[in-house]
Structure 1
Amino acid sequence: MISRPSSTSRLLGLSTLALLSTAALAQTPLPSYYYGGVSVGQSQTRLDEGELTRHQLGAATEVAGFDSDERDTAYRLFLGYQFNRFMALEGGYFDLGEARFTADTTVPLGTLSGKLKTRGWHLDLVGSLPVTPRFSVLGRIGAHHGKTKAEYVGTGLAVPAFPEASKSKTNYKYGAGLQYEITPAMLVRGEWERYRVSHVADGRHNVDVASVSLVFPFGRAMQPAPRQVAAAPDVAPPPAPMPAPVAAPAEPVPQRVSFSAESLFGFDQEQIRPEGRRDLDAFTQTLQGTQYETIRITGHTDRLGSSEYNQRLSERRAMAVRNYLVTTRGLEASRITAIGMGETQPVTRPEVCVGERRTAALVACLQPDRRVDVDVTGTR
């Protein structure tokens, strides 16, 4: 059996991780989403064979030795809700497998064989601490309601008092692990968990599970935006005046509107803020009476962070603006394209915004680079 001080210290450590994650929620939010997953691994049940044997044969039982098989396959099916970068609520069904033992007894003379298996439901608070944009450290603490079924068979004079028995009770569980984002639509986890389980001898034992999980977020992955779009010039000369009194058809005139990323989105977010929606609403008002041919939306980021992460963030933000103009403002989807350029087209100069480490001064200096450009080509 695992000693109580060891279990308590680990539980306090995971609780501290969850509290630290909660304290950081207001600093770096992320879009929330639902997810589901499956976990498979190996369980090891920490049985007290002597306690279980005496429960079946009596307190005066004398045991010569035990033969135990405490390892088996465990699995878990779960659903969860990711509130933000640091915290999720997760629940599901688990099966901890089966543990067996055989006791050779001298009083009474014979053998007692038993097997126990536990299944049930759990609800966990899962804290995550990002190390890189894709790699995180996990900690979890929660409760589970498990049902332990036991079967006993005796030989000789070792006759079990309760050949079949079961017990259901709610206990705590906790664990820790690592998570890696393969794609926005699939994550992989490696975890260790401990379940505190009540058995039919009115006692408790631990079941440790080492597992690998696949996690599938719902609706989090963005569809790729069109990449090959002819760039419109930033400024075009006005059309030449016509000598005839009858006006000729107007030529398409490009127009660019640039939105600051901070006005549209929260820090490191891709969901449009209420202030950003008002800016986009005002922009669509200016299109009234315009026969626009194309609207091209381009997302940009500053140079802080990895190029791969910045590219994906710029694509998601450009797609978020496109989706808002189509679904909320009713613009024609076939005329609107969205692309992300990441950090490749800054408007600031390196000699002005000096440095690579993130500081408050450098973040403020690079603010013009964090933007979304909307280019409209049309006629009035």
Structure 2
Amino acid sequence: MSKTPRQYFRSTGKLSLLTLALMAAPFAMAQDAGWYAGANIGQTRSSLDNASISNSLLGATPPAITSISEDNSDRGYKLFGGYQINKYLALEGGYFDLGQFDFVTNTNAPSTLNGNIQVRGVNLDAVGILPITDKFSAFGRLGVTHAHTKGSFAGATTVNSTRASDNNLKVGLGVQYAFTDALSLRAEIERYRINDSVGQKGDIDMASVGLVYRFGGKTPTPVAQTYAPAPVIIAQAPAPVYVAPPPPAPTPIPAAMPQRVSFSADSLFDFDSAAVKPTGRAELDKLAANLRGVDFDVIQVTGHTDRIGRQAYNLKLSTQRAEAVGNYLVSAAGIPASKISTRGVNGADPVTKPGECVGTKVTPALIACLQPDRRVDIEVTGQR
């Protein structure tokens, strides 16, 4: 197969530049770390030089080639697994099978040479991720492959079999859409550099689609939402007490006031997590113990983040943390879900004062200064 302009892929150089550009995206404070696995299937196309392969197999003084009939496309697949280090970078390894490519060479001898080449192997890639929305992202990859190429060639009187294993680069681009936190669909194009088993190099491109499953990516079950009215002070009218004249004024019974408790998010959750950790459960158990014997109307749970990061992501994280606290109070303290209302605030209600934490560049000092803003507020309205 003589090299021709690609009809559906860009050149390797352009793919490499775009891949490196994606991997250079800035590191974010929020991280989406975790393991994942998946599989892709698609169409492959080779650019192997079958004329050169034929000449190398037809002898020291090969006859002139009159025509070559080529089948340079097939179906390929890959199986992969990886670890996402943060929302911008992942490492991914896997197994690939790029299919089989056939050709028939006719010479003026007259004679023919029938050949086929099969390619499969393993790879390790660095994947740079560019989030576009909460569900949709683009990615580029740059990696190394260890490919095994098997060639089978039959002439008029001879049959040859060749094998080659070699390490080469691969590049790729793709997009991914998350149906849920656990399941995503991806589509991508990749270029594999391979040894053609007779000492030459060539490219095989694969366009494929596949599914990705993220371990531990299930969405937390939300607490039933209720929209509570403004807290109402519940008061019990005192009965007048009469003594010898002149009677004193009635002594009022203090009205029940809302109880408000604020927890540091760092004490309840690990960094960028919405799962209540053991020390956080202990704090919530103390609150649940204090609520025993209280006839409450509503418990309002509000999650807060600081102003660092994207507002949409902060709102999602603060909402998930509020829901996680509400779920724990339901499961551990037996509080009816209908009495709990949860919401998230994306850093819009800070505790720190304006000008107290100066700067926009993310530094350890700024993160420490904004720590009071990362919290969960619980307000209980009722009567003991």
For Structure 1 versus Structure 2, the TM-score category normalised by the shorter chain is 0.7 to 0.9
Q: Which residue of 2 aligns with 1:317?
A: 321
Could you tell me how far apart the structure 2 residues matched to 1:81 and 1:98 are?
31
In the TM superposition, what are the counterparts of 1:181-196 in structure 2 within 5 Å? 181-196=178-193
3-state SS in 1 of match to 2:179: strand
Q: Given residue 170 of structure 1, which amino acid in structure 2 is its aligned partner?
A: N
Q: Which residue of 2 aligns with 1:117?
A: 118
C-alpha displacement of 1:169: 2.4
- Structure 1 gaps of 5+ residues are 245-250, 354-358
In the TM superposition, what are the counterparts of 1:208-219 in structure 2 within 5 Å? 208-219=205-216
Q: Please give the per-residue CA displacement for 1:196-237, whole angstroms capped at 9, x wherever unaligned.
A: 111220222111111112212112121331324474864644
Which has more radius of gyration? 2
In the TM superposition, what are the counterparts of 1:366-377 in structure 2 within 5 Å? 372-376=376-380
- Structure 2 gaps of 5+ residues are 6-10, 242-254, 362-366
Q: Which residue of 1 aligns with 2:58?
A: 57
C-alpha displacement of 1:134: 2.4
C-alpha displacement of 1:143: 1.5
Q: Which residue of 2 aligns with 1:7?
A: 12
Could you tell me how far apart the structure 2 residues matched to 1:94 and 1:147 are?
10
CA contact (8 A) 1:41 1:209 kept: yes
The 1:241–1:90 alpha-carbon spacing in structure 2 relative to 1, beyond 3 Å, is: farther
Q: Please give the per-residue CA displacement for 1:173-208, whole angstroms capped at 9, x wherever unaligned.
A: 111122222322222222111111112202221111
CA contact (8 A) 1:31 1:270 kept: no
Could you tell me how far apart the structure 2 residues matched to 1:104 and 1:372 are?
77
Q: 1:255 aligns with which of 259, 262, 265?
A: 259
Q: Which residue of 2 aligns with 1:177?
A: 174
In the TM superposition, what are the counterparts of 1:66-77 in structure 2 within 5 Å? 66-77=68-79
Q: Which residue of 1 aligns with 2:197?
A: 200
In the TM superposition, what are the counterparts of 1:294-305 in structure 2 within 5 Å? 297-299=301-303
CA contact (8 A) 2:225 2:342 kept: no
Q: Please give the per-residue CA displacement for 1:330-361, whole angstroms capped at 9, x wherever unaligned.
A: 9346656876534599769xxxx9xxxxx959
Q: Which residue of 2 aligns with 1:248?
A: none
Q: Which residue of 2 aligns with 1:139?
A: 140
3-state SS in 1 of match to 2:203: strand
Q: Which residue of 2 aligns with 1:91?
A: 93
Q: Given residue 102 of structure 1, which amino acid in structure 2 is its aligned partner?
A: V
RMSD: 4.3
CA contact (8 A) 1:185 1:220 kept: yes
CA contact (8 A) 2:268 2:279 kept: no
C-alpha displacement of 1:109: 2.2
C-alpha displacement of 1:110: 0.9
Q: Which residue of 2 aligns with 1:331?
A: 332
CA contact (8 A) 2:87 2:129 kept: yes
In the TM superposition, what are the counterparts of 1:286-301 in structure 2 within 5 Å? 287-288=288-289, 290-291=291-292, 297-299=301-303
C-alpha displacement of 1:82: 1.0
Q: Given residue 14 of structure 1, which amino acid in structure 2 is its aligned partner?
A: T
3-state SS in 2 of match to 1:331: helix
